[in-house]
Amino acid sequence: MTQNRPQVRKIAVGAREDGQRIDNFLIRQLPGVPKSHIYRLLRSGQVRVDGGRAKPERKLVKGEEVRIPPVRAAERGEAVRPPDAVLNKLREAIVHEDEHYLAISKPAGLAAHAGSGVKFGVIESARAWGRHEFLELCHRLDRDTSGVLLLAKSRPALLRAQRAFKHGEADKRYFALLVGRWKGEDRDVDAALVRNAIAGGERRVRVDEDDGKPSKSRFSPRARYQDATLCEVQIFSGRTHQIRVHAAALGYPVAGDDKYGEREDNRPLRDKGLKRMFLHSHLLTLPASGEFPKLLLSAPMPDELREVLDNLGAPQAASSRRRRG
């Protein structure tokens, strides 16, 4: 019996894809294919745009033709339809929708997108609803972080959001419970970050002023407890694990963060009911731009985090000691 073999595909770039990076275009065209393999196809020149090689950051133009080579099933991985329970949970988590955007209060434990052993995330689940012709992530949240996640319903809306994030025009604020009693008031952290991989392929981020990318966060204490502090954190850049690494660099790691904190430090908080990392994106604002009005999004703190704060008891009075550092 002759088996169907994957064939070369040639796809014309339409208005929807105009201005899209080729790597993101391929991720959409090859669902289930690991990103590492997609970048390998680009580096080897197997993907062609109007007959020429293309770098991952190359932006497509309407009318161009993209050649996509055959991709074997073994390279694809198994495409998985998100369970109905997940689809329904995300529908209930919608905090805003208009003609341009869809915003979801992402639950902790659900990735923003598939990849690296994760079969589906928020974007795959939202697309599985089948009611949007175009849907793309405007930004990312760590899998264990909850809160506002913004999706664009058109390419102009996506580019508007990406510009705001890139140029520091978006206001992004989180609630983070930090291990330890905070000394002083607001504190800015301006420390460059670099990503690297350690044994087993685990991704970690570290402060590196020589090779890192500029990263700035502002920590503002909102409630002090005996052994922990609730801070509102405003980030002026969007680096991977930024809040977690900056908090650890200050000596106050995010509660429940076993990667950048110490497990033993989290034990008293686990006894208070903490079962996840205490990091929640509660506010996102985009300024008005052209046809797009100002966008103000918020997501309430999940019950499982509020219960931890309740179990910590009444907040204590701020210390009169001078600001550290």
Look at residue 232 and tell me whether its pLDDT is greater than 60.
Answer: yes
Confidence of residue 325 (pLDDT cuts 50, 70, 90): very low
Quick one: pLDDT at residue 34? 77
Quick one: pLDDT at residue 31? 75
pTM of the entire predicted model:
0.76
Q: Catalytic: which of 142, 188, 265, 303?
A: 142
Give me 230's structure tokens.
């609730």
Look at residue 234 and tell me whether its pLDDT is greater than 90.
Answer: yes
Residue with tokens 């745009």: 49
Nearest to 279 by CA among 173, 172, 177, 171: 177
Other residues' Cβ atoms within 10 Å of the Cβ of residue 134 = 15
Pairing outcome for strands 295-298 and 279-286:
antiparallel
Quick one: pLDDT at residue 5? 60
**115, 34 contact by CB (below 8 A):** yes
pLDDT in tens, 25-59: 998 888 777 777 888 899 899 999 999 999 998 99
Quick one: pLDDT at residue 2? 45
**144, 295 contact by CB (below 8 A):** no
Quick one: pLDDT at residue 193? 93
Whether 142 is a known active-site residue: answer: yes
Coil, strand, or helix at residue 90?
helix
pLDDT in tens, 51-72: 999 999 899 999 999 999 988 6
Summarize the confidence of residues 210-231 as an average pLDDT.
94
Quick one: pLDDT at residue 278? 98
pLDDT in tens, 168-196: 999 999 999 999 999 999 999 999 999 88
Q: Which residue has the higher pLDDT, 73 or 201?
A: 201
Residues 6+ apart with CB under 8 A from 139: 149, 150, 161, 165, 238
Quick one: pLDDT at residue 266? 87
269-302 b/e with 16+ CB inside 10 Å = b?
Answer: beebebebbbbbbbbbbbeeeeebeebebbbebe
Quick one: pLDDT at residue 320? 43
**222, 169 contact by CB (below 8 A):** no
CATH class of domain segment(s) 84-312? alpha beta
Give me 319's structure tokens.
């210390």
Domain boundaries, the chain: 7-50, 84-312
Q: Please state, for a pLDDT cut of 90, what percent of the chain lies above it.
A: 62
Quick one: pLDDT at residue 80? 66
Pairing outcome for strands 216-224 and 187-190:
antiparallel
Confidence of residue 198 (pLDDT cuts 50, 70, 90): low
Q: Which residue has the higher pLDDT, 252 or 18?
A: 252
Q: Which residue has the higher pLDDT, 115 or 311?
A: 311
Quick one: pLDDT at residue 4? 56
pLDDT in tens, 273-323: 999 999 999 999 999 999 999 999 999 999 999 999 999 998 887 654 444
